[in-house]
Structure 1
Amino acid sequence: MKLSYRKLSVLLVDQVSTGLDTLKTYLEDFQFYRTWTAQDVESAIKILKDKPVNLVVSAWKMQPQSGFQLLQRIRAAEKTRELPVLLMIDRKDKALEQKALELGASGFLNTPLAMEPVRLTVAQMLDQFVDEDEETFMQHMTKARKSVRLGKLDQAEESYQNALKVKSSKEAMLGLGRILKEKGDMEAAATAFISALRLDPKSLRAFLGLASVYNIMGRKTDALKVLAGAVMAAKRMKKSGKVTASLHFYMGELELQLKQLKKALDHFHEATDDNPKDPDMQVKMGDALSDSGHFAESEEFYQRALELDPELAHVYNRLGISYRKQKKYDLALNLFGKALNFHPQDEHLLYNMAHCLWDMNSLEKATEYLSRALKLNPEFKEAQMLLDAVLNKLGYKVSEGAPPPPPVP
């Protein structure tokens, strides 16, 4: 079946439900964009007035108005005067066929219906709507996407290139850019994304694709310029604050990579202004700062995330880690404790609590939490190493066999 059929809509008319069901079954492989159905003429006329329809297939024998009357009304209306109409009749009745032709029938489906003749006739009727170049383009694009799903990147690249030989297309350029990026050909990928932007200067996917390629190439300043262009495009298109917030977040991450903390914070604050109610965005910005070693600056974003959603247990943990690395031990212990209230059986939270107690030289309590963590996960190597260090510091010679840890409270 031609892919172009998927853009078309058909109206099926028959007062007998089983007749409609049979027709829909026979036409399933066309994968029409819409398949409308009606069981009387008035319902069919309403659909034709309100909905886009490319082909009408109708029974002729209906009450109170027949398929012939439907055909007359279709030909009388300016909007539908040229609309193809297939009538289902017994073609042995030549007088009936002649009358239908005189009323403007475009063709016939012989009754009783058979699948292959129905499909053949409908396809022939719809081919007037098919642009062969567009059909070829769609075939190449479908093959390319299938190759991508199968991980066959060379075949995907070839299919996208073939599609672009048929016509210039933003979607084909974007697809080609993604494939070239995945194959590691960054120069060619950048060229593809730039071509996509020339075809559509507001394409956020093209902006993001080009920025990601520049980032991989180490051209971080260029990536920032591209993202700034994406922000301007998003604002011109009046995209949601969530979109511009994500762009500012990406720009902040790049500034952190360039060791530009102030500029990164400016972008993160812009992201907050654009999307102030999203706790996940606050967590991502806190994580980016924490991962870059800016623990004090991460506090603001973790705290805002918790204000938006006090049940984000993992944020208590991350903010606690940030406090611990700043030697704000009491604050860290408080937050680890809150996280443990949500997940008392999380060995990593227990380990973080113990690590904080180790830093505070509260060794007996650290031993208790490490023992609980190891009871939950005996293979937890970091917890075992820290416990060995704690016991050594307490005066036990672990290498000679440490005494059993204290009982789990």
Structure 2
Amino acid sequence: MKGVFSHEQAATIGHGTTKRTTTSLQYVYVMEEQDEKYSVRVINANNLPTGEAEFISFDQLMHEYTPEPDFYHEKVFPAMRELGKTIARGERHLKNGEPYTAELEFLAALKLDEDNVRATFGLGLAYLERQQVEKADTVFQKLVKMRAAFEREHKHMFNAFGISLRRNRMFSQALKFYARAQQLCGADDHLMFNMARCLCDAGDNDGCCTYLRKALELNPNQKEAATMLRAVEKRKG
């Protein structure tokens, strides 16, 4: 289930004898998630869901929110569709080796929804492709603060961004990026392996071996980690 709902918000303004309570109507985009929870995101001035999601129960949804199907079909769905097309064009240009054109599409998308995860990742990748390290670092600083950037649905973009940071020799940023993922999502063998590769490229063989061993502790069958560990230990002598 997904759609737009309205929700009344109360706010107190003024002080003393002028103090009064007012109510305003807020439109939100609601999606059914796992474990009978519903994610709620605010609709912005461009009729797009934006920001970090809050989660409510079905009972809360039924008692505190009012369905707004006309608003969804007439305003929100068309805006979401156009935003999706803009981001898809950017991703296509990026895939075709056209980072400057991709950058323009992602910037256009972020004017509509400044917190869009796909567009933010795409913009960062376009900057990295063009080796615009300072601009890429600005995007990196934004991404590490966005919890949604580390959700499972964005994993392929997360992986591509981390690899691109490493290839541009932005090792401290790449390690911080992976550490943030570990903080939010927990450790897995692929994450440990990526951190090891980053440390290896940075010239830290001891740190590399440490994370390769952690990867193998989590998954003894990870052949890439085992092969790399043997090679790095041999190089260390």
| Global fold match (TM > 0.5) | yes
In structure 1, what is the equivalent of residue 176 of structure 2? 225
CA distance in 1 between counterparts of 2:98 and 2:173 reads 31
Task: Give the superposition deviation at 1:271.
Answer: 0.7
The alignment covers a number of residue pairs equal to 165
Match of 1:279 in 2: 223
2:124 match: 177
How far did residue 266 of structure 1 move? 1.7
Distance in 2 of aligned mates of 1:279 and 1:128:
52
* Runs of 5+ consecutive residues of structure 2 not aligned to the other structure: 4-66
Q: 1:247 to 1:289 in 2, by over 3 A?
A: farther
Q: Distance in 1 between matches of 2:157 and 2:92?
A: 21
- Asked if the contact 2:127/2:133 (under 8 Å) is kept, the reply is yes
Give 1:129-208 correspondences, 5 Å limit: 131-168=77-114, 169-200=116-147, 203=150
| 286 and 246 in structure 1: CA distance in 2 versus 1, 3 angstrom threshold | farther
For 2:141 and 2:157, how far apart are their aligned partners in 1?
A: 7
Deviates more, 1:263-272 or 1:204-213: 204-213
By percentage of residues, which structure has more strand?
2
- 1:170 CA displacement: 0.6
Coordinate RMSD, CA, aligned: 3.4
Question: Contact 1:170–1:200 at 8 Å: present in 2 too?
Answer: no
Could you tell me the TM-score, scaled by structure 1's length? 0.35
Tell me the alpha carbon deviations over residues 76-98 of structure 1, each in whole angstroms, 9 at most, x when there is no partner: xxxxxx9x9xxxxxxxxxxxxxx
Could you tell me which amino acid in structure 2 is paired with residue 255 of structure 1?
L
Whether the 8 Å contact between 1:173 and 1:193 is mirrored in structure 2 is no
Counterpart Cα distance in 2 of 1:139 and 1:221: 34
2:200 aligns to what?
256
In structure 2, C-alpha distance between the alignment counterparts of 1:194 and 1:205, rounded to whole Å? 19
* Counterpart contact for 2:182–2:191, Cα < 8 Å: yes
> How big is the shift at 1:172?
0.5
In the alignment, structure 1 segments of 5+ residues that lack a partner are 1-6, 9-81, 85-125, 236-240, 297-409
Q: What is the TM-score when the length of structure 2 is the normalising length?
A: 0.56
Q: Quote how far apart the aligned CAs of 1:222 are.
A: 4.5
Q: Structure 1 counterpart of 2:135, which letter? A: A
**Which structure's residues are more often helix, by fraction?**
1
- The question of whether the paired residues in 1 share the 8 Å contact of 2:124 and 2:139 is answered with yes
C-alpha distance in 1 between matches for 2:157 and 2:225: 23
- CA gap of 1:150–1:209, structure 2 versus 1, over 3 A, is closer
Deviates more, 1:220-229 or 1:139-148: 220-229
**Within 1, Cα distance between the matches of 2:105 and 2:80?**
14
**Could you say which structure has the larger radius of gyration?**
1
Specify which structure has the bigger relative contact order, considering alpha-carbon pairs within 8 angstroms and separated by 6 or more residues.
2
